[in-house]
Amino acid sequence: MSNTAEYAPDSQRSVSDRRMLGVKVGWRAQSIFSEMLAEFLGCVVLIAFGAGVVAVAVVGLTESGRTAVIFNGAGGWLLITWGWAFAVTMAIYVAGGVTGAHLNPAVSLAFAVKGDFPWRKVVPYWVAQVAGCFVGAALVYLDYFRAIDAWNAAHHVASYAAPGGLTTFSIFATFPASYLGGHMDLALIDQIIGTFFLLLFVLAISDNLNLSPTSNMGPLMVGLAVAAIGMSYGVDAGYAINPARDFGPRLFTWVMGWGKNAFPGPHGYWWVPIIGPMIGGVLAVYVYKWFISLTLVERAKLLENQQPHPQMQGMGYSLEKLQAALDEAKQLHTP
Protein backbone atom coordinates (compact mmCIF):
# COMPACT_ATOMS: atom_id res chain seq x y z
CA MET A 1 0.00 0.00 0.00
CA SER A 2 1.42 3.39 -0.99
CA ASN A 3 2.13 6.12 1.54
CA THR A 4 0.48 9.37 0.42
CA ALA A 5 2.95 11.35 2.57
CA GLU A 6 5.63 10.51 0.00
CA TYR A 7 3.83 12.71 -2.52
CA ALA A 8 2.88 15.55 -0.13
CA PRO A 9 4.41 18.96 -0.79
CA ASP A 10 7.02 20.27 1.66
CA SER A 11 4.50 22.64 3.25
CA GLN A 12 2.35 19.66 4.30
CA ARG A 13 5.14 17.47 5.67
CA SER A 14 5.49 17.24 9.43
CA VAL A 15 8.50 18.80 11.13
CA SER A 16 9.90 15.34 11.95
CA ASP A 17 9.54 14.21 8.32
CA ARG A 18 11.44 17.23 7.07
CA ARG A 19 14.20 16.71 9.62
CA MET A 20 14.59 13.12 8.45
CA LEU A 21 15.12 14.48 4.93
CA GLY A 22 17.83 16.81 6.19
CA VAL A 23 15.74 19.98 5.85
CA LYS A 24 16.46 22.60 8.51
CA VAL A 25 13.39 23.84 10.37
CA GLY A 26 13.65 27.15 12.26
CA TRP A 27 11.94 28.08 15.50
CA ARG A 28 9.28 30.06 13.66
CA ALA A 29 7.88 26.85 12.19
CA GLN A 30 7.40 25.07 15.50
CA SER A 31 7.60 27.47 18.45
CA ILE A 32 4.70 29.14 20.19
CA PHE A 33 6.79 32.32 20.32
CA SER A 34 6.18 32.90 16.62
CA GLU A 35 2.45 32.78 17.33
CA MET A 36 2.86 35.12 20.28
CA LEU A 37 4.69 37.59 18.04
CA ALA A 38 1.79 37.54 15.59
CA GLU A 39 -0.78 38.08 18.35
CA PHE A 40 1.37 40.86 19.80
CA LEU A 41 1.67 42.73 16.50
CA GLY A 42 -1.99 42.22 15.67
CA CYS A 43 -2.96 43.76 19.01
CA VAL A 44 -0.57 46.67 18.44
CA VAL A 45 -2.44 47.39 15.20
CA LEU A 46 -5.80 46.91 16.93
CA ILE A 47 -5.14 49.57 19.58
CA ALA A 48 -3.09 51.88 17.36
CA PHE A 49 -6.11 52.36 15.12
CA GLY A 50 -8.89 51.68 17.64
CA ALA A 51 -7.67 54.01 20.37
CA GLY A 52 -6.30 56.22 17.61
CA VAL A 53 -9.75 56.97 16.24
CA VAL A 54 -10.99 57.75 19.76
CA ALA A 55 -8.09 60.17 20.19
CA VAL A 56 -9.14 61.88 16.96
CA ALA A 57 -12.76 62.16 18.12
CA VAL A 58 -11.99 63.29 21.68
CA VAL A 59 -8.96 65.60 21.40
CA GLY A 60 -7.61 65.58 17.86
CA LEU A 61 -10.47 67.25 16.03
CA THR A 62 -11.19 69.84 18.71
CA GLU A 63 -7.64 70.87 19.58
CA SER A 64 -6.63 71.04 15.93
CA GLY A 65 -9.51 73.41 15.25
CA ARG A 66 -11.25 71.02 12.87
CA THR A 67 -14.30 70.57 15.16
CA ALA A 68 -15.61 72.94 17.81
CA VAL A 69 -17.30 70.40 20.12
CA ILE A 70 -16.58 66.71 20.66
CA PHE A 71 -19.41 64.26 20.01
CA ASN A 72 -21.57 66.89 18.35
CA GLY A 73 -24.59 64.69 17.63
CA ALA A 74 -24.14 61.06 16.64
CA GLY A 75 -21.26 61.74 14.24
CA GLY A 76 -18.54 61.31 16.85
CA TRP A 77 -19.89 57.96 17.96
CA LEU A 78 -20.22 56.71 14.41
CA LEU A 79 -16.63 57.77 13.72
CA ILE A 80 -15.49 55.69 16.67
CA THR A 81 -17.56 52.61 15.84
CA TRP A 82 -16.42 52.56 12.22
CA GLY A 83 -12.85 53.29 13.24
CA TRP A 84 -12.83 50.31 15.59
CA ALA A 85 -14.38 48.16 12.86
CA PHE A 86 -11.52 48.97 10.50
CA ALA A 87 -8.98 48.51 13.30
CA VAL A 88 -10.25 45.00 13.97
CA THR A 89 -10.33 44.19 10.25
CA MET A 90 -6.76 45.32 9.59
CA ALA A 91 -5.45 43.61 12.74
CA ILE A 92 -6.98 40.29 11.65
CA TYR A 93 -5.44 40.62 8.20
CA VAL A 94 -2.05 41.24 9.84
CA ALA A 95 -2.04 38.26 12.22
CA GLY A 96 -4.61 35.91 10.72
CA GLY A 97 -2.24 33.85 8.59
CA VAL A 98 -0.22 32.80 11.64
CA THR A 99 -2.73 32.35 14.46
CA GLY A 100 -6.14 32.99 12.99
CA ALA A 101 -5.93 36.35 14.80
CA HIS A 102 -7.54 35.80 18.18
CA LEU A 103 -6.43 39.25 19.41
CA ASN A 104 -8.75 38.79 22.37
CA PRO A 105 -8.38 36.61 25.48
CA ALA A 106 -12.11 35.87 25.35
CA VAL A 107 -11.69 34.45 21.84
CA SER A 108 -8.74 32.28 22.90
CA LEU A 109 -10.68 30.98 25.90
CA ALA A 110 -13.80 30.32 23.84
CA PHE A 111 -11.89 28.36 21.19
CA ALA A 112 -10.19 26.32 23.92
CA VAL A 113 -13.55 25.50 25.50
CA LYS A 114 -14.87 24.59 22.05
CA GLY A 115 -11.93 22.22 21.57
CA ASP A 116 -10.39 24.01 18.60
CA PHE A 117 -7.44 25.51 20.49
CA PRO A 118 -4.89 23.85 22.85
CA TRP A 119 -5.29 24.85 26.48
CA ARG A 120 -1.51 25.09 26.88
CA LYS A 121 -1.48 28.06 24.50
CA VAL A 122 -4.20 30.08 26.22
CA VAL A 123 -2.09 31.91 28.80
CA PRO A 124 0.84 32.65 26.41
CA TYR A 125 -1.67 34.14 23.94
CA TRP A 126 -3.16 36.25 26.74
CA VAL A 127 0.28 37.61 27.65
CA ALA A 128 1.05 38.52 24.03
CA GLN A 129 -2.35 40.14 23.58
CA VAL A 130 -2.09 42.33 26.68
CA ALA A 131 1.49 43.33 25.82
CA GLY A 132 0.49 44.25 22.27
CA CYS A 133 -2.42 46.37 23.50
CA PHE A 134 -0.10 48.12 25.98
CA VAL A 135 2.33 49.03 23.20
CA GLY A 136 -0.50 50.09 20.90
CA ALA A 137 -1.70 52.51 23.59
CA ALA A 138 1.84 53.86 23.93
CA LEU A 139 1.93 54.60 20.19
CA VAL A 140 -1.34 56.52 20.38
CA TYR A 141 -0.08 58.53 23.35
CA LEU A 142 3.19 59.29 21.57
CA ASP A 143 1.26 60.76 18.66
CA TYR A 144 -1.45 62.60 20.59
CA PHE A 145 0.03 63.64 23.94
CA ARG A 146 0.23 67.27 22.87
CA ALA A 147 -3.46 67.22 21.91
CA ILE A 148 -4.29 65.54 25.23
CA ASP A 149 -2.38 68.18 27.18
CA ALA A 150 -3.98 70.97 25.12
CA TRP A 151 -7.46 69.60 25.85
CA ASN A 152 -6.70 69.40 29.57
CA ALA A 153 -5.41 72.99 29.59
CA ALA A 154 -8.42 74.28 27.67
CA HIS A 155 -10.82 72.57 30.09
CA HIS A 156 -8.86 73.40 33.26
CA VAL A 157 -8.02 69.79 34.08
CA ALA A 158 -5.09 69.99 36.48
CA SER A 159 -3.74 66.46 35.91
CA TYR A 160 -4.48 63.15 34.27
CA ALA A 161 -5.54 61.77 37.66
CA ALA A 162 -8.04 64.56 38.30
CA PRO A 163 -11.75 63.76 37.88
CA GLY A 164 -11.75 65.64 34.58
CA GLY A 165 -8.97 63.38 33.37
CA LEU A 166 -11.53 60.66 32.77
CA THR A 167 -12.29 62.23 29.38
CA THR A 168 -8.76 61.75 28.03
CA PHE A 169 -8.50 58.40 29.80
CA SER A 170 -11.43 57.25 27.64
CA ILE A 171 -9.13 57.45 24.62
CA PHE A 172 -7.40 54.32 25.87
CA ALA A 173 -9.79 52.28 28.01
CA THR A 174 -13.44 52.12 29.01
CA PHE A 175 -15.63 53.22 31.90
CA PRO A 176 -19.33 52.81 32.78
CA ALA A 177 -21.96 55.36 31.80
CA SER A 178 -23.02 57.71 34.58
CA TYR A 179 -26.62 56.47 34.47
CA LEU A 180 -25.45 53.05 35.69
CA GLY A 181 -24.34 54.65 38.93
CA GLY A 182 -22.55 52.12 41.09
CA HIS A 183 -24.34 49.13 39.55
CA MET A 184 -21.34 47.26 38.23
CA ASP A 185 -23.53 44.21 37.94
CA LEU A 186 -25.34 45.98 35.11
CA ALA A 187 -22.04 46.90 33.49
CA LEU A 188 -21.03 43.24 33.79
CA ILE A 189 -24.23 42.16 32.03
CA ASP A 190 -23.48 44.68 29.29
CA GLN A 191 -20.04 43.16 28.70
CA ILE A 192 -21.43 39.63 28.75
CA ILE A 193 -24.04 40.54 26.14
CA GLY A 194 -21.62 42.39 23.86
CA THR A 195 -18.98 39.66 23.90
CA PHE A 196 -21.61 36.96 23.52
CA PHE A 197 -22.66 38.51 20.23
CA LEU A 198 -19.04 39.03 19.16
CA LEU A 199 -18.20 35.34 19.61
CA LEU A 200 -21.53 34.26 18.15
CA PHE A 201 -20.67 36.18 14.98
CA VAL A 202 -17.06 34.95 14.93
CA LEU A 203 -18.19 31.33 15.27
CA ALA A 204 -20.72 31.73 12.48
CA ILE A 205 -18.30 33.55 10.17
CA SER A 206 -15.56 30.96 10.68
CA ASP A 207 -17.86 27.91 10.35
CA ASN A 208 -17.33 26.31 6.94
CA LEU A 209 -20.63 24.47 7.27
CA ASN A 210 -22.48 27.74 7.68
CA LEU A 211 -22.62 30.66 5.23
CA SER A 212 -18.96 31.50 5.79
CA PRO A 213 -17.60 34.34 3.63
CA THR A 214 -15.21 33.53 0.78
CA SER A 215 -12.29 35.33 -0.88
CA ASN A 216 -10.71 36.22 2.49
CA MET A 217 -13.66 38.41 3.44
CA GLY A 218 -13.88 36.97 6.96
CA PRO A 219 -11.85 39.76 8.63
CA LEU A 220 -14.10 42.41 7.10
CA MET A 221 -17.19 40.58 8.34
CA VAL A 222 -15.77 40.44 11.87
CA GLY A 223 -15.04 44.15 11.64
CA LEU A 224 -18.64 44.81 10.64
CA ALA A 225 -19.77 42.68 13.59
CA VAL A 226 -17.75 44.91 15.93
CA ALA A 227 -19.30 48.00 14.35
CA ALA A 228 -22.78 46.56 14.89
CA ILE A 229 -22.05 45.81 18.54
CA GLY A 230 -20.65 49.30 19.07
CA MET A 231 -23.68 50.95 17.53
CA SER A 232 -26.19 48.81 19.44
CA TYR A 233 -24.47 48.01 22.74
CA GLY A 234 -21.64 50.49 23.03
CA VAL A 235 -22.76 53.28 25.31
CA ASP A 236 -23.33 51.45 28.62
CA ALA A 237 -19.65 50.71 29.15
CA GLY A 238 -17.73 51.54 25.97
CA TYR A 239 -17.99 48.03 24.46
CA ALA A 240 -14.53 46.77 25.42
CA ILE A 241 -15.69 43.16 24.70
CA ASN A 242 -12.01 42.22 24.93
CA PRO A 243 -10.05 41.94 28.20
CA ALA A 244 -6.69 42.73 26.56
CA ARG A 245 -8.09 45.70 24.65
CA ASP A 246 -9.09 47.28 27.97
CA PHE A 247 -6.51 45.99 30.46
CA GLY A 248 -3.38 46.66 28.35
CA PRO A 249 -4.19 50.35 27.68
CA ARG A 250 -5.58 50.73 31.22
CA LEU A 251 -2.24 49.54 32.60
CA PHE A 252 -0.45 52.00 30.31
CA THR A 253 -2.57 54.93 31.51
CA TRP A 254 -1.94 53.96 35.13
CA VAL A 255 1.80 54.01 34.46
CA MET A 256 1.47 57.41 32.77
CA GLY A 257 -0.30 58.98 35.73
CA TRP A 258 -4.06 58.67 35.21
CA GLY A 259 -4.21 57.22 38.73
CA LYS A 260 -7.65 56.31 40.04
CA ASN A 261 -9.22 56.98 36.66
CA ALA A 262 -7.39 53.83 35.53
CA PHE A 263 -7.27 51.71 38.71
CA PRO A 264 -9.68 50.99 40.21
CA GLY A 265 -11.67 53.14 37.79
CA PRO A 266 -15.10 54.64 38.49
CA HIS A 267 -16.93 52.51 41.07
CA GLY A 268 -14.10 49.95 40.93
CA TYR A 269 -14.99 49.14 37.33
CA TRP A 270 -11.58 47.80 36.15
CA TRP A 271 -12.45 44.08 36.54
CA VAL A 272 -15.73 44.24 34.59
CA PRO A 273 -14.23 44.26 31.04
CA ILE A 274 -12.09 41.28 32.03
CA ILE A 275 -14.64 38.95 33.61
CA GLY A 276 -17.63 39.92 31.48
CA PRO A 277 -16.09 39.09 28.08
CA MET A 278 -14.79 35.75 29.38
CA ILE A 279 -18.28 34.75 30.47
CA GLY A 280 -19.95 36.01 27.31
CA GLY A 281 -17.46 34.29 25.01
CA VAL A 282 -17.83 30.89 26.65
CA LEU A 283 -21.61 31.24 26.72
CA ALA A 284 -21.62 31.91 22.96
CA VAL A 285 -19.77 28.64 22.30
CA TYR A 286 -22.50 26.54 23.91
CA VAL A 287 -25.36 28.57 22.43
CA TYR A 288 -23.96 28.39 18.90
CA LYS A 289 -23.28 24.67 19.24
CA TRP A 290 -26.80 23.88 20.50
CA PHE A 291 -28.78 26.15 18.18
CA ILE A 292 -26.68 26.03 14.98
CA SER A 293 -23.57 23.84 14.86
CA LEU A 294 -25.13 20.48 15.76
CA THR A 295 -27.80 20.98 13.10
CA LEU A 296 -25.21 21.84 10.45
CA VAL A 297 -23.14 18.77 11.32
CA GLU A 298 -26.12 16.42 11.18
CA ARG A 299 -27.27 17.87 7.85
CA ALA A 300 -23.77 17.47 6.44
CA LYS A 301 -23.75 13.81 7.49
CA LEU A 302 -27.16 13.28 5.91
CA LEU A 303 -26.04 14.89 2.66
CA GLU A 304 -22.91 12.76 2.62
CA ASN A 305 -24.97 9.61 3.08
CA GLN A 306 -27.33 10.65 0.28
CA GLN A 307 -24.45 11.40 -2.07
CA PRO A 308 -21.84 8.70 -1.35
CA HIS A 309 -18.41 9.15 -2.80
CA PRO A 310 -17.26 6.33 -5.13
CA GLN A 311 -14.46 4.16 -3.83
CA MET A 312 -10.95 5.09 -4.88
CA GLN A 313 -8.89 2.55 -6.83
CA GLY A 314 -5.18 3.14 -7.19
CA MET A 315 -4.43 6.71 -8.19
CA GLY A 316 -7.90 7.49 -9.57
CA TYR A 317 -11.57 6.59 -9.82
CA SER A 318 -13.30 3.91 -11.83
CA LEU A 319 -15.28 5.83 -14.46
CA GLU A 320 -18.07 3.25 -14.33
CA LYS A 321 -18.46 3.60 -10.55
CA LEU A 322 -18.28 7.37 -10.78
CA GLN A 323 -21.08 7.43 -13.35
CA ALA A 324 -23.15 5.01 -11.29
CA ALA A 325 -22.79 7.19 -8.21
CA LEU A 326 -23.83 10.28 -10.16
CA ASP A 327 -26.86 8.47 -11.56
CA GLU A 328 -27.88 7.29 -8.08
CA ALA A 329 -27.55 10.77 -6.61
CA LYS A 330 -29.60 12.21 -9.47
CA GLN A 331 -32.38 9.68 -8.87
CA LEU A 332 -32.50 10.48 -5.16
CA HIS A 333 -33.09 14.18 -5.89
CA THR A 334 -35.49 13.72 -8.80
CA PRO A 335 -39.11 14.53 -7.73
What is the DSSP-derived secondary structure letter of residue 316? Answer: E
pLDDT in tens, 75-85: 889 999 999 99
Provide, rounded to the nearest whole percent, the portion of the chain with pLDDT above 90. Answer: 76
Average pLDDT for the chain: 89
Tell whether 121 is covered by a domain.
yes
Tell whether 289 is covered by a domain.
no
Which residues partner with 312 through β-bridges?
317
Model confidence band, residue 215 (pLDDT cutoffs 50, 70, 90)? confident
Tell me how far apart the alpha carbons of residues 15 and 23 are, in angstroms, rounded to a whole number: 9
- Per the structure, the complete domain to which residue 65 belongs is given by 31-282
Tell whether 329 is covered by a domain.
no
Tell whether 159 is covered by a domain.
yes
pLDDT in tens, 130-158: 999 999 999 999 999 999 999 999 999 99
Three-class SS string for 189-225? Answer: HHHHHHHHHHHHHHHHHCCCCCCCCCCCCHHHHHHHH
pLDDT at 319: 55
> The domain spanning residue 265 has which CATH number?
1.20.1080.10
Half-sphere exposure of 227 (CA within 13 A, CB side): 14
Average pLDDT of the residues in 286-301: 96
Average pLDDT of the residues in 242-264: 98
Q: Is the pLDDT of residue 33 over 70?
A: yes
pLDDT at 226: 98
Q: How many domains is the chain partitioned into structurally?
A: 1
Total-model pTM: 0.85
Tell whether 312 is covered by a domain.
no
Q: Is the pLDDT of residue 314 over 50?
A: no
- Burial group, residue 228, by CB count within 10 angstroms (0-12, 13-18, 19+): middle
pLDDT at 330: 62
